[in-house]
Amino acid sequence: MRIGSLEFPVPVFLAPMAGVTDTPYRILAREMGCPLVYSEMVSDKGINYRNEHTLKMLHTEELERPMAMQLFGAEPDSVAKAAQYIQSLNCADILDFNMGCPAPKVVKNHEGSAMLLDPERAFRVLKALVGAVSMPVTVKMRIGWDKDHINVLEMAKLAEEAGVQAVAVHGRTREQFYRDRADWQIIRQVREKLRIPVIANGDIRNVEDLIKIREVTGCEAVMVGRAAQGNPWIFRQLTHYLRTGEILPGPTMEERKEIIIRHLDMLLKFKGDYVGPREMRKHATWYTRGIKGNAELRVQFNKAENRDDFLRILEKMK
């Protein structure tokens, strides 16, 4: 699969996830073989008003490249201006536009998945975005607002007409959030209608799901979201399968421990001694899902305040 000048022989991508896909996690995913990682969504207004927290989100490292910076907004001029600023920083290789976030605080401002309710506005935003930058532009969207307003075919076609170079489709409506099964059949319809690449997203948890979603949708490229939380190894497994046909085992206990410390050390480096350990709590809980005693581990991780606390907890893991 190709996006602009970028070629992806094994297109298994890390989906953008707020509070998850920051620089440390993107680096870990890249090290596990993920060929393209997406940032957390970044506000156009935050960029244009030079909000300190937002500008920190634009920082990237060479180890995570190539990567896509995901932008959200609702006004063509504002989105275009923010995109130009991102391009000026040379901090990303692709610009992605968010038309899928279901969060109430986002959709109340006509942003995220609320854009699906206003095709004309969405087209103007995407057209302005494509025209504002020379880097490739992609878009991620849901299949519609609710079961009575499933318009992904129309929206994806508008995105293509606006000059977008790839469309990622999450097979759920905004109303579903993350409930029920993702609709892979409608993703196939999108793929059959567009000339540009379509990236299938939703319910890819293992190699078996990868095989099925590629068969059902006809999409070469897939995007993994929640299944990657606490599980960067999924990219090693999926990309290895696509290259060799072999299914690798999951991580050992020692690998889990090593990655928790590596992740923590990067959070300490990039976010400091106070924020780093507190953000690591949720990640450590995800890393230890499914192992014996994980409920007690969750309690302990949620009390950890520094690196030594995490080390003491990990020493007891068996």
* Phi, psi dihedrals of residue 76, rounded to the nearest 5°: -50, -50
Cα-based angle 312, 317, 318 (whole degrees, multiple of 5): 145
* Domain termination residue (choose one: 244, 274, 305): 244
Q: pLDDT by residue (tens digit) across 230-271?
A: 999 999 999 999 999 999 999 999 999 999 999 999 999 999
Q: How far apart are CA 260 and CA 311, in angstroms?
A: 9
Residue 234 and residue 278 in one domain: no
Residue 131 and residue 274 in one domain: no
Q: How far apart are CA 223 and CA 182, in angstroms?
A: 13
Residue 36 and residue 108 in one domain: yes
Structure tokens at 100: 């899928």
173, 146 in Cβ contact below 8 A?
A: yes
Residue 22 and residue 50 in one domain: yes
Q: How far apart are CA 277 and CA 260, in angstroms?
A: 11
Q: pLDDT by residue (tens digit) across 31-51?
A: 999 999 999 999 999 999 999
Residue 229 and residue 98 in one domain: yes
The predicted structure's pLDDT at residue 8: 97
Residue 229 and residue 259 in one domain: no
The predicted structure's pLDDT at residue 259: 97
Structure tokens at 202: 């939703």
User: DSSP readout, 259-286?
Assistant: HHHHHHHHHHHHHHHHHHHHHHHHHHHH
Catalytic hit among 34, 91, 101, 219: 101
Tell which residue, 40, 33, 11, has the closest CA to residue 279: 40
* Domain termination residue (choose one: 181, 214, 244): 244
Residue 236 and residue 259 in one domain: no
Residue 83 and residue 132 in one domain: yes
Q: Which residues of the chain are modeled with pLDDT < 50?
A: none
* Domain termination residue (choose one: 216, 244, 272): 244
Residue 266 and residue 296 in one domain: yes
Residue 62 and residue 186 in one domain: yes
Structure tokens at 60: 């990237």
156, 197 in Cβ contact below 8 A?
A: no
Q: Count the Cβ atoms, other than its own, within 10 Å of residue 108.
A: 10
Please count the structural domains in the chain.
2
- Calculate the alpha carbon distances from 169 to 73, 156, 271 in Å: 18, 9, 32
Name the residue with tokens 């996830």: 17
| Structural element, H or E, at residue 2 | strand 2-3
Return the CATH number at 74.
3.20.20.70
Q: Establish whether 101 is a catalytic residue.
A: yes
Q: How far apart are CA 87 and CA 71, in angstroms?
A: 12
Residue 49 and residue 175 in one domain: yes
Q: Which residues fall within 8 angstroms of residue 159, CB to CB, at 6 or more apart?
A: 122, 126, 139, 141, 167
Return the CATH number at 291.
1.10.1200.80
Beta strands at 94-99 and 137-144: parallel, antiparallel or unpaired: parallel
Domain residues for 34? 2-244
The predicted structure's pLDDT at residue 316: 86
Residue 139 and residue 27 in one domain: yes
Q: Count the Cβ atoms, other than its own, within 10 Å of residue 277.
A: 22
